[in-house]
Every structure is written in C-alpha cells, then in structure tokens.
Amino acid sequence: MSFLLVSLLLAASSASSTKMETFTVGTTDSAALLNWLDAQAFPHHHLAKNLFSVRMDPDSLESLSNLPGIDRVEIFHPLQQHEFDASRTRIEAQPVHLGTGLSRPHHGTGVLVGIVDAGFDLKHYAFLDSAGNSRIIRLWDQADTAGSPPAGFTSGTLYSGTELANLTHSSTLNHHGTHVTGLVAGRTYDSSVGEWWGVADDAKIALVDCGNKGTLLSEGLEYLFQLGDSLGLPTVVNMSWGSLSGPHNGKSSDCQVASSFVGAGRLAVVSAGNDGGRAAHVVHAFAMDTAWYALQVSPGTQTSGSIIRDVFFNKAEFWSDSGKSFTLWVRFLDSATGTILTTSPSYAAGGRAMLRTISQQSISGTDTFWISGIVQKISGQGGVSITVSTSRPGTAIRLAVTAATGAVHGWITEEGLAFLPPSESGCTGCVIPDYDDIISDKATCPFFVSVGAINGATGLPAAFTSRGPGLGKVSKPDISAPGVEVISSLNSYVSYDGWTISGTSGRFSWGPMSGTSMSAPLVTGTIALLLEGHPKLTVDSAIALLKEGSTTFAPDSGYRTLNVRRLFDTVSFQATTGLSRLPVAEGIEKRTWITPDGHWYPVPSGARALDSHPGGIAWLRTCRGERCTTTGIVRP
C-alpha cells in the first residue's frame, strides 16, 4: 500500500488561510525577505537583527527557502507552562528582607520584574505595597484585541494608568501567571492568612499575558526590557515556559533574540522543564548506517474514524549535527504478526535539503494512518518535526534514520508518543531511549539563567525536573531551587475546584503548585534583590553569584540549592554603593566583532553587542574561557 500525498499547495496570495502558522525566519538579505513578505501579505514582526517572526501559510515554505540569504526557518511550537512550604523560608530570603548581618534590608526596591506568563489576577493582595497600592505598572495582554499594543508591536492591548487600575484580570483564565508572579514579587498584605511572601516584595511589576501557548514570548521579553530602559530601572524577566522542540544546543531563535537584549541590568530567567522521569531522548552516531526506533502512540490520542485531527499530541523531533544531513521515514506494522501495513516516503533534512511541510495519509479499509510535520533548519542544523497517528488498534510504529556521518538526536516532544526500549517493543536492534538531555530547548541558551527544581524538604532533585546538561557548550541548568508544593497566590477569577487552598483573605487565595515554573521565579526574585544593590549586574555575574550561594553541583541539575542568605553573606555590600565585589564570571568573558577586512572591534563589558556593531557584514566572536563561537550578523 502506498501513501496518498495530500497536496497542500495553495495560491501564494492566500494569506487569510486557516492554515497560517508562525515561523521564525533568519536571513542575511533582509530586503529580499521583506519584499517577499509584503508581496504575499504575510504579517511579520522584526525580532532582532536579521530575524523575523512571520505568520504565513506553510505551503509557501519552498518559495521562502529559495529566497537569497535564508539561513533559518523555525516553526513555532506550543510551549508548556512548567507547573506542577513557604518559599521565602526555604531559600532563606527573610534574613535579607530584614537586613540581618547586612548594611540594610533588600526587597527589590527600584527594580522592575517582568513576568511573561498566562493568567493574572491584577487585584490580588499579593501585589500591593505596604500602603495598599498596586505595584503592577503595566499589562500587555497579547490576546486582548480591545485596544492598541505597545509601540512597535502589532498585536494585543497595552494597559497602564487608569485603564490598568480599572482592569481586574488579564484575558487568559489560568492560575499559573498569578502563582508565578507571587513567587517573584508577592507579599502578604494580610499576615493572618499565612506568611507566603515572594522574594522581591517591593519590586515594580510588569506583566505580559501571552496566552496558554506562549506564541509571542520573545516579543514579550523585548517589550519588558524596553520598558525597563524607559523607566531607568534594572530589569529581570521570568519565563516559566519551555518545550523539548529544538536542537537543545543554545542556538534557537529565542536565544538569538535574547543575545540582542540581555546585558548590564537586563537579565532573563527560564525554567528547565518538567519532563524528568521520561525516557524521551535517543541518540545514534552514524557511520553510513541506518538506526531504527520503536514508537508507541498512547491509546487515548489515537484518531478515530477517517477524520484528520487538527491537533495531535504524538510528536517527535530529530536533529542532526550542524552541517550534517540525514533521511527519515516511518513504517506502520501489525504488532501481533509484524506484517508491514504501510511505509512512508523518506524526508531529508540538513545540508542542502529543501524546507517543506509534511502532510500525508494512507487508508486501508477502515484504517487510516497519518503523518504530518515540517522539515526545519536552525543555524545550519537540519531537523524534522513529525507527528504520527492511526485509527488502527494494535499498530506498531518504527521510525528509521539513515546518515553518512555525525550524530542525530531525537526527542519526544508531546506525551501522546513514546520511545519503547527493545524489552517492550521486541525490536532487538532498535535504539535504546534514555533520560539524558531532556531539558527545555530554551533553557540551553547561555544568555538565560536556567533553573531546575528540587524538593525543598530533602534538597534532592524533584522527580519531574528536566535534566541537562544539554548539547550546547555551556552546561545547563545553572541552578536548582525549591519547586515541589510551593505556596503562592492564586487567581480569584478562576475556579478553585480541585485545588488545595492554603489560606484565604477576602476573595483572594493562596495554594501550592509544583514544577520548575515555581523554582524559576524564586531565582528571578533573588536576582531582583541583587539588582537593587548592583543595577548593572550581568547574566554571567548573576550565575557566578548564584553558584557562590550553593554547596552542591551536578552537571544535569546545576548548583543546588538556592540560598539567598548564604549568597548575600558571600558578597560584600555597602550601604551606598551596593555590591562592592563580584566574582569572576565563568560565562561570557569576551565578545569581539570581526569584519571581512580582518579588523577586530571589542564589545565593552556589559554592553549590548549590537550597539557596537561596526556596520555591514561582521561576525560576533563570543568566548567563554577557551571556548569560542562565531555568528555572522549583517547590519545596514
């Protein structure tokens, strides 16, 4: 039986297609790309130098890939909120709030904390100051179309002043954003209900509600740093989001955008993910051979009848080493007899392989088999994101990859699919899945502070926390903090059914949640305390300081655990100047622009690299100790 190729080729002018998807596109020829996007009427937004967010019909990918200068096409993947004791006590932040042994107390005063999340209760007591006034100064609700977005952006509504004061909650109905914000910067206005304080309890708060999928995460980061600069405030942004989609080496578009924005007094923190405990990773080093992988579709996610589902939860991704190519195909088998039911065409990725969408189905009687996905490219690396589903019970799935050389890594990115070990699949030659490098792709970025989770009661890594160290040159996560049953504020506009309520004051409640979504904001709040005393703190110095406040290190979970009192004890503070000693950062030590004529232009420490771009074509050489990477960036 052969596959029926479902043609998706539509007219190029169909910008209103219901199949529109969001892509991140990188190019060395911005003019050619912008002209093409305008001609196609595809909405787009400038993210960073030579990097654009594009809303387009996936069937135009081949035309896009033929444009001059295209070096990155990355589909947006729906992100997951990393959620699942009194946090201030566990991390010993209270002595720092009181100023015990210090020249003065620290509360994050004069610092802006930005939260990119979903679901905010704007009136919760946790976000008031000591006089009962709200500390929330901005809300950009990206899903709200009632008003105008921030200047330079194209979607959502920005609320401030009276409009913000009259608003009760953001458009996404979710507890997650309220809980995270409470951990970063909440306070107990009514101490009778419990001492559930956040870390930076006097910081100004700016919120970006990006909906339940985190579509415009990078734009939220960009806006919050712009806001901090306009107010003259050092800024730290929390993003408790992530996904296993991507090459896991710190080269994603989010990381490239972050490299343009982070700097002195501008830091961002991300959660490592909650995929620990799943054998969701495979790897094979190729030498002119073929590797087989056994896959299983969860019964609850199988498609019934002959209807193609709009949303699958059965997705895997495979990524090659930079510059290497590979070919992938899928085979469906009768699990009882081993009879081959159907085999897909092959899909090439990497090297000079064409970018394309995959949408195919095969029908045999009443049984239907689907494959969908996309062939991607990120910084020269080829990747295939592929979804498989079938209406036929008792179907075994085998995926094959063939390559001449190099390693190919694979991840299960949606839990409706699983890699099976040979002991369960009966495929004795299939690659054995492992628990390594199951960390959010975003958390591998060296420009973010990456946070895993521990059990605050035991100090051991939480069972759910995603493990590193990732495939980049910098081991991630950087640090782990408490993330099990952490109590914080809940959204009074969302049902409490099924929730444990730890305390209530008026209509507002507090309750526990677990996940690296809860550990990351504790680190974000801690960085806000540091920024109060040292507003020019960089991400590398922050990571080095966090390490000084810890006692245990493991490559897959970073330093543990976060201890704010010990951190401040290791650093000398002065009443007027704040931090008087910073440890030598183990991160970025030197950044240099290199032009085609061989001239080298050093980037000042703590400055944004793009601010010192020499113009035209130049390569940014970033060195951490003896390890250096070079990225070409064009600036008109």
Peptide bond into 178 cis (omega under 30): no
Cα 270 to Cα 517: distance, rounded to the nearest angstrom: 8
How does pLDDT run across 158-198, given as a tens digit for each residue?
A: 999 999 999 999 999 889 999 999 999 998 755 555 567 88
The H or E element containing residue 348 is: strand 347-349
Residue 44: predicted pLDDT: 73
The H or E element containing residue 524 is: helix 516-533
Burial group, residue 497, by CB count within 10 angstroms (0-12, 13-18, 19+):
exposed
CA 111 to chain CA mean position, Å: 23
Cα 554 to Cα 568: distance, rounded to the nearest angstrom: 22
Residue 545: predicted pLDDT: 84
How does pLDDT run across 405-449, given as a tens digit for each residue?
A: 999 999 988 777 889 999 988 899 999 999 888 898 889 999 999
Domains of the chain in start order, with CATH, are: 4-75 (3.30.70), 84-274+441-579 (3.40.50.200), 281-425 (2.60.120), 590-635 (no CATH)
Q: What is the mean pLDDT of residues 242-254?
A: 81
Say yes or no to pLDDT of 581 above 50: no
How does pLDDT run across 523-556, given as a tens digit for each residue?
A: 999 999 999 988 999 888 888 888 877 778 888 8
Share of the chain above pLDDT 70, in %: 82
Cite the beta strand spans of 365-431 per DSSP E: 367-378, 381-390, 395-412, 417-419
What is the chain's mean pLDDT, rounded? 80
Angle, CA of 468, 473 and 478, to the nearest 5°: 45
Residue 536 · residue 577 · CB < 8 Å: no
The radius of gyration computed from the CA coordinates of the chain, to the nearest angstrom, equals 25
Burial group, residue 12, by CB count within 10 angstroms (0-12, 13-18, 19+):
middle
Say yes or no to pLDDT of 213 above 70: no
The three-state (H, E, C) secondary structure of 29-50, written as one string: CHHHHHHHHHHHCCCEEEEECC
The three-state (H, E, C) secondary structure of 537-570, written as one string: CCHHHHHHHHHHCCCEEECCCEEECCCHHHHHHC
Residue 189 · residue 508 · CB < 8 Å: no
Contacts of 364 (CB under 8 A, 6+ apart): 1, 341, 342
Residue 131: predicted pLDDT: 85
Say yes or no to pLDDT of 616 above 80: no
Residue 13: predicted pLDDT: 29
Q: Which tokens sit at 529?
A: 């305390």
How does pLDDT run across 232-243, given as a tens digit for each residue?
A: 999 999 999 878
The band of 627, judged by pLDDT with boundaries at 50, 70 and 90, is low
Find residue 263's DSSP bridge partners: 266
The band of 209, judged by pLDDT with boundaries at 50, 70 and 90, is very high
Q: Which tokens sit at 185?
A: 């910067």
Which runs of consecutive H residues, i.e. helices, occur in 47-114?
Answer: 61-65, 87-90, 94-98
How does pLDDT run across 585-594, given as a tens digit for each residue?
A: 444 457 787 7
Backbone angles phi, psi at 481, to 5 degrees: -140, 165
Tokens 């070409």 correspond to 632
How does pLDDT run across 361-400, given as a tens digit for each residue?
A: 887 777 788 888 888 887 778 899 988 888 777 788 999 9
Find residue 399's DSSP bridge partners: 293, 330
Residue 49: predicted pLDDT: 55
117-121, 199-203, 245-249, 435-439: segment of lowest average pLDDT = 245-249
How does pLDDT run across 440-480, given as a tens digit for each residue?
A: 888 999 999 999 998 888 888 888 888 888 888 788 999 99
Residue 631: predicted pLDDT: 59
Q: What is the mean pLDDT of residues 224-233?
A: 96
- At position 321, the amino acid (one-letter code) is D
